[in-house]
Amino acid sequence: MKRVPLGTTDLTVPNVALGLMRIADLDDDAVRDLVRTARDAGIDFMDHADIYGGELHGSERRFAEALALSPSERERFTLQSKAGIRRDNGVAWFDFSYEHIVSTVEASLETLRTDYLDILLLHRPDALVEPDEVARAFDHLEQSGKVRHFGVSNHTPGQIELLRRSVRQPIVANQVQLSITHAPIITQGLAANMQGVEQSYTLDAGGIVDYCRLHDITLQAWSPFQAGFFTGVFLGSPEYPELNAVIDRLAKKYDVPPIAIAVAWITRHPAGIQVILGTTTPERVAGAAQGSDIPLTRSEWYELVAAAGYRVP
């Protein structure tokens, strides 16, 4: 398993991580089998969020109950969680207030049965954010030893810059949606300045990938197998026959399952992107992990881009 630096920290993390969004309904044995498979593949990075699992902190609770980690076992994991999304009567809203960030972290720590988070991410952007409040929350969490590193999720360069004006700690990660078929943050640059081509439109407010590379912010790719925004996976989908034909051919060449090629397309990028797996199937975790070390050639990488329907001028 290849490892990459996490932002400007002294941490090196696997470039494939396990997202635990869907484990709330699994029994103890299933959770342990999933995590054991990930660990056997070299994945020791676990991605949580307070809203994962139906009820608040549901997936965090399942992880803690099933694993029952001792302090020494806890040290062998990198635990990341998120805060900022709230729901009332089925309506989502966002809250980056000092009180909400701090109380969410404290609830996550209690639920996870740990004294600290390795990384806290601010979940989807809060349009009503007060950067000085975020800074105060980060300072409190860092000084009390409850959070060691801080990042964001689904943030544009401008939104990160606004935070950086007040926040003293480095922003070390930005978790964004990315897959071969959902790649505007990468493919827009391929079609820049092409009139009348939708792919050339700037959808990320200024180049998320380039910005994060310039500022040593690790990109984390969520939904790496989703065709669009929770529209189903592209692997094996009849809607993507050309792409799957290329994936299958490359899988045969490298002697890996197709899911590994989908991961390898992301990890091949020189930005050192970390893939967040959301599957609860151990076999898929093991297969996806094989993509970590596959050295796709430039021509293979671009062939996948074109087969996904993007323009390579």
Rounded to the nearest 10 degrees, what angle do helices 28-40 and 58-67 cross at?
Answer: 80
DSSP 3-state of 48: coil
Query: What 3-state class would DSSP assign to 147?
Result: strand
Q: What is the largest CA-CA distance in the chain?
A: 58
- Alpha-helical (H) ranges within the chain are 28-40, 58-67, 71-74, 98-112, 131-143, 157-164, 184-187, 208-214, 241-254, 258-267, 282-289, 298-307
Q: Of 52, 211, 240, 310, which one is the catalytic site residue? A: 52
Radius of gyration of the chain (CA): 19
Rounded Cα gap, residues 258 and 63, in angstroms: 28
Q: Read off the tokens for 189.
A: 């640059």
Query: In this structure, what is the dihedral angle of CA atoms 78, 12, 263, 270, given to the nearest 10 degrees?
Result: 150
Question: Residue 236: which residues within 8 A CB-CB, separation 6 or more?
Answer: 244, 258
DSSP string of 179-227, one letter each residue: -SSS-HHHHGGGGTT-TT-GGGS--SSS-HHHHHHHTT-EEEEESTTBS
**What is the DSSP secondary structure assignment for residue 273, as one 8-state letter?**
P
Q: Is 52 a catalytic residue?
A: yes
Active-site annotation, residues: 52
